[in-house]
Structure 1
């Protein structure tokens, strides 16, 4: 792995690591039981802020492409994930979400023409196993609607990741503008759902304002910019295998900051999931060939094959209350 690719990978990894702090911020700083309102305040202000900084609007086909990507990565992903977090036992949404790398591998074969490798499939299974050991709790019967919502949220983010890679970016448009379009479109989609489902916004104290500022700026504006920037420079498989860092971070923060117990089984699961994340970053021969060809014809800024999937802090959401991702 070259120094540039390593730097890109590490910066992209900051996104799911940041999303892993969402659970602690939500439970300690924000009003209870307002996940959609929280999702709205994360997405729309962040999108408008980045749009003001980028000063670039979509053109032509990018109006509907931005709407599609915003719906898949933000607008549909958030409500589906919250529905799953409400209805499933603690950690189950994260377990279902951990199949994201496998979905991305399959979608990359269909939409990007990347042949699935045995290593990618095996690593995806191992990553899901590691996340399961970290977050899964034995509690209650499996809710069918919750399971479908969790799977749909994972499929939505996986499809958004692959389509972001397939469509790339318009000429002269950077990842900042692309991120702003998606966050704005996703926030506008969440807004009516949030107000219909949760009513008027709650009263906010200083702690809540600080929590929402963190989520909108660091946890969303910066994190999603890093994520979509990574999608443009890494492969779909490499990006999605960073997703397990989110539930792992949520577990570590819960142990270090919230005094939650950390069992030997969880530690073992963390080692397994982190190992799968590292292995998932190793480029295949096919990916290297594609990257070399793309760089030779379009330059290093051209998008190469590359939500999330990440199942951010939902890993432990049901045990206290759902988190916004």
Structure 2
């Protein structure tokens, strides 16, 4: 019988399994940009958020009903799930959509990639087992720089725009940082239940909000292609992805889990190259190399395994 990983345990170093799950999550969330690009052409952003979280919540509720564990485990933590939904879905989604009305996608991606930086600072302030280290900060800065290089001309073209829009994107990243930290408190709750609780709470908030803003008329008036993209966004990039997300937080900690925001833009570009026939540019390859260097620096094992200089070894033997 499989043992569920629990949220809130002390965070050990990243294992190969953790890195594999992180890369898989980054690939899935990178693909979500493709599905969202199709869906937002016919569905208003707030309505798209509602459909995304509500369909994902329904899928996970059905999964728990058929396979377990029981969703009753979430009932004593109902208030915490509404806080988690606010920090991880409602606030950041709203701020990102608001900011992107004025900012280019390149600048928005770089500002979103600062999430690990804010998470590391918050974790250092609010937790006992995820303190800042030189390797962690250096790696995160490499990753942010790599994202900026990888976006390239798109970033330069989008550097303009009002300051409030840039603060909106930064605010979304900080909200995600708080969400990574807050997720640690779901002690003893299996990750599928945490994912279901968060998305169910988001649904309870989003349905009346969308009905208030848009009304019921025309909410379901979209093409088959768009609804296919919505289903993929909800089932793969939300329901399944959030189970991975909470598993990574449980086993690797908030700061390590937040590194997924560095992998997402790299994944989006690679998927565009593989499936949309987009050309991979030299600056994109250089940016990916910098992100890879940042992740290796954070992991630390490659540098730890490197041979020590002769002079240092000789001194240590004296």
Q: Counterpart of 1:129?
A: 145
Which residues in structure 2 correspond to 1:1-325 (within 5 Å)? 5-28=15-38, 31-32=41-42, 34-54=44-64, 55-57=70-72, 58-60=74-76, 62-113=77-128, 114-135=130-151, 136-139=154-157, 141-165=160-184, 167-169=185-187, 171=188, 173-199=189-215, 200=217, 201-282=219-300
TM-score when normalising by structure 2: 0.80
Q: Counterpart of 1:288?
A: none
Q: Is the 2:53–2:199 Cα contact (8 Å) retained in structure 1? A: yes
Q: Counterpart of 2:5?
A: none
Residues of 1 paired with 2:108 and 2:40: CA distance? 21
CA deviation map 1:260-307 (0-9, x unaligned): 343211210111112212333448xxxxxxxxxxxxxxxxxxxxxxxx
- The 1:253–1:23 alpha-carbon spacing in structure 2 relative to 1, beyond 3 Å, is same
Give the number of aligned pairs: 278
Structure 2, unpaired ranges of 5+: 1-11, 65-69, 302-318
| CA-based RMSD | 2.3
Residues of 1 paired with 2:209 and 2:261: CA distance? 26
Q: Is the 1:238–1:281 Cα contact (8 Å) retained in structure 2? A: no
Q: Is the 2:52–2:238 Cα contact (8 Å) retained in structure 1? A: yes
Runs of 4+ in 1 over 4 A off after TM superposition: 196-199
Structure 1 position 193, deviation (Å): 3.8
Residues of 2 paired with 1:162 and 1:71: CA distance? 13
Structure 1, unpaired ranges of 5+: 284-325
Q: Is the 1:103–1:158 Cα contact (8 Å) retained in structure 2? A: yes
Residues of 1 paired with 2:295 and 2:193: CA distance? 28
Residues of 2 paired with 1:64 and 1:148: CA distance? 28
Structure 1 position 237, deviation (Å): 2.2
Q: Is the 1:30–1:212 Cα contact (8 Å) retained in structure 2? A: no
- The 1:121–1:89 alpha-carbon spacing in structure 2 relative to 1, beyond 3 Å, is same
Residues of 2 paired with 1:254 and 1:198: CA distance? 32
